Structure 1
């Protein structure tokens, strides 16, 4: 038996989130942007918020270490919405089609509990999930196995019943170890073909 439920990642699969969208407005060139996001507001630093830490505390601590960049650091929270680039083309349409065809749809997302409500106001499709596990609320993040186990407990599903879609290779590897079927996301067109091949999505609207 193949999977009967579809489990989405959100950032990078359904929503285009990238801090470069903001910092390209605030810094003079691409080199400065990359240096700032590598050495100051790094991905590792941001992960603490996905894991449940409070933005105000994380920003205060980082600004104390880099006082000359305090205003840039504060912008990570104050202008967070400007890091959103819109829907990833085509994927939300697949989510809506699955929902219309009565396929159970769920999500496991690394996302801050403080900023996720902003996203839900901007992207109504985030209300479509049957079971939604947000790392910042659970205080556990992918690729840790605990968050996948939390999802399985909450949904009552087995890993083999689910196909998990994520753009991050480490998250895909973690899901594979637990027995999930997986798709390492690249494009909506590729995802659509895979879901059709599994019988989870009708061919109606299939891209050429």
Structure 2
């Protein structure tokens, strides 16, 4: 039987997430490497994903590293440039599924505050039947407890869930619970998987 719902990650599935590329363009690769190594900005982002406040966390990090304060604040003030552009092919797949009455959920490591910040520019992020945001739930992929929460909340059997994510560890954790999974490398690959699962026709998938 085909899946009853499709679950989308956000970063590098529906919205490009490339902080390294952003900082390489802004300050050069060598300075970016030093920034990340000396300040732990990526680790602070992980804390935000786990529920820490977005702006306050970045401001606190900037205060602790005054030599890098301007660069650190870009993580907040230019966040939309770190998370861009939208992946229009994948968004269209999501919207086509929903138009056919197939439930679509978001399951993403995303801060509560940064999610609200993202919605200011990317309104399409609100267009899900259910949202599972790590910063709100205080559970972060690939913690099995987060997948268990999704199952309990939606009431759909694990083998009737199709989960699309770009990270192998997140995919593996879902597969261990019996979810159907697809590791995303391109929206076209995801489109082919949706066709193979008999959720979309090739025309509907844009193939």
Determine if the TM-score, normalized by the shorter chain, exceeds 0.5. Answer: yes
Q: Which residue number corresponds to residue 78 of structure 1?
A: 77
Report the Cα offset of residue 5 of structure 1.
0.9
> TM-score normalised to the size of structure 1?
0.90
* Alignment coverage as a number of residue pairs: 207
Q: Which residue number corresponds to residue 163 of structure 1?
A: 162
Q: Which residue number corresponds to residue 13 of structure 2?
A: 13
Q: Which residue number corresponds to residue 177 of structure 1?
A: 176
Inter-partner Cα distance in structure 2 for 1:55 and 1:205 = 38
Q: Is the 8 A contact 2:4 2:156 kept in 1?
A: no
Q: Note closer, same or farther for the CA distance 1:38–1:179 as it changes in structure 2 (3 Å cut).
A: farther
Report the Cα offset of residue 105 of structure 1.
0.7
Deviations 1:57-78 (A, max 9, x none): 4334433542211222222122
Inter-partner Cα distance in structure 2 for 1:87 and 1:60 = 27
Inter-partner Cα distance in structure 2 for 1:195 and 1:5 = 11
> TM-score normalised to the size of structure 2?
0.90
Inter-partner Cα distance in structure 2 for 1:8 and 1:206 = 16
Inter-partner Cα distance in structure 2 for 1:160 and 1:73 = 42
Q: Which residue number corresponds to residue 114 of structure 1?
A: 113
Inter-partner Cα distance in structure 2 for 1:206 and 1:134 = 26
Bigger proportion of residues as helix? 2
Q: Note closer, same or farther for the CA distance 1:85–1:23 as it changes in structure 2 (3 Å cut).
A: same
Q: Note closer, same or farther for the CA distance 1:150–1:70 as it changes in structure 2 (3 Å cut).
A: same
The 5 Å alignment of 1:10-89 reads 10-20=10-20, 22-24=22-24, 26-27=26-27, 29-89=28-88
Deviations 1:97-152 (A, max 9, x none): 11111111111011111111232232232222111111111111101112112212
